[in-house]
Amino acid sequence: MSKKEIEIAKNRLSSGEVVIFPTETVYGIGCDATKDMAVNLLYKLKKRPKNNPIICHFANLEDIKKNFYINKTELLLAEKFWPGPLTLILKKKKISKISPLVSNHNEYVGCRIPKNKITQELLSKVKFPIAAPSANITSETSVTLPEDLNPFFKENILILNDGPAKLGLESTVLKINKNIIEILRLGSLSEEMINKKINNEIIINQKSNLSPGNLLKHYSPKKPLRMNIKSVNDNEGLLNFGSTNLFSKVFNLNLSSKGNLEEAANNFFHYIHLLDQSKCQKIAVVPIPNIGLGKTLNDRLKRSSFKN
Ligand code: TXA
Ligand code: MG
């Protein structure tokens, strides 16, 4: 990645255009969070309902403090996990110039400092936070490799290509409620990882109305998907984990033959893309242990397998 490409991205963002950029979780499609017109364009490109708020990405904690109130617990989380795969829902100050459209006119906004060298440089060069959802069309799968991006995005939008994302699952979205940590969306930061650093009670509250992004059908491949399978049908491609005796006659992938959940998280979205492109008619996924990142993987699989 050359300095020139980052400069071009900066100029496009500054003139209200959108840019696709890498983060340690998944690729993002972003714009100037303070420009209503640009945020509107983002919703349109992603085909995203306006009531589903968008995360704002910042270069550093100082910039977040200028725009948001931050209490003791929030500060502790920020210090332990930023830059990194944490999104904190914070209360916006009146003086903030962040567009009300990023949060459907709500004063609570999702904030995050991503851990990726290129994007950190971009964020430090622009004079505004970058509003960015994951770089996929609404309800489709997130993207961890630029080659998996939607063809329309590939042809029409500048992409800062930094190869495969380091973690592979989206950020964990947290809201602090009377010192209790509420997980609004499971993500790359597991409950266990938070527990190791912070003593506060943690509850998973993915049904919260605050996160309409948690629609049941989400992260969906184009093909029907079955999870927790015990046998594979003839027309199914297999997404395996660890060492099972299962085998597909059409297409086989293993998220991690060693049974490592970090490796599985890292491969997950790319493998779903590969299965979607393979000759199989349906996708069958073996059980994934429901611990640590396995909880996030099972959450994504549940939404992927949801039938309307
Ligand atoms: O890792 C990530 O979080 C990636 C990268 C690009 O940063 N972004 C991402 O954005 O996954 P998106 O828009 O695909 O998912 C954001 C989730 C949605 O479930 C949304 O409802 C929730 O965060 N969210 C965003 N702002 C919120 C807010 N103000 N209140 C409650 N939930 C919010
Ligand atoms: Mg998304």
Residue 171: the pLDDT is 98
The tens digit of pLDDT for each residue in 115-169 reads 999 999 999 999 999 999 999 999 899 999 999 999 999 999 999 999 999 999 9
Q: What is the pTM of this model?
A: 0.96
Probe ligand 1: pick from 31, 140, 211, max atoms within 8 Å of CB? 211
φ and ψ at residue 239, rounded to 5 degrees: -105, 105
What mean pLDDT value characterizes the chain? 95
* Number of C-beta neighbours around residue 117 at 10 A: 11
Reported as a pLDDT band with limits 50, 70 and 90, residue 217 is low
R_g (Cα) of the chain, nearest Å: 19
Q: Does residue 85 have a cis peptide bond before it, meaning omega lies within 30 degrees of 0?
A: no
Instruction: Check if the beta carbon of residue 186 is closer than 8 Å to that of residue 295.
Output: yes
Residue type, 80: K
The tens digit of pLDDT for each residue in 30-41 reads 999 999 999 999
Is residue 56 within 6 Å of ligand 1 at its C-beta?
A: no
Give yes or no for residue 308 having a pLDDT over 60. Answer: no
Residue 170 CA, closest ligand 1 atom number: 1
Query: Which residues are found with C-beta within 5 Å of the ion, ligand 2?
Result: 134
> Which residues does 196 contact at the CB level (< 8 Å), separation at least 6?
none
For the chain, what percent of residues have pLDDT higher than 90?
A: 91
Residue 2: the pLDDT is 81
Is residue 112 within 6 Å of ligand 1 at its C-beta?
A: yes
Neighbour order of strands in the sheet with 282-285: 225-226, 282-285, 236-240, 252-254
Q: Give CA separation, 276 vs 29, 221, 282, 284, in Å.
A: 22, 6, 8, 12
Residue 211: the pLDDT is 53
Probe ligand 1: pick from 46, 107, 113, 170, max atoms within 8 Å of CB? 170
The tens digit of pLDDT for each residue in 73-118 reads 999 999 999 999 999 999 999 999 999 999 999 999 999 999 999 9
Reported as a pLDDT band with limits 50, 70 and 90, residue 306 is confident
The tens digit of pLDDT for each residue in 184-201 reads 999 999 999 999 999 999
CA 148 to CA 297: how far, in whole Å? Answer: 19
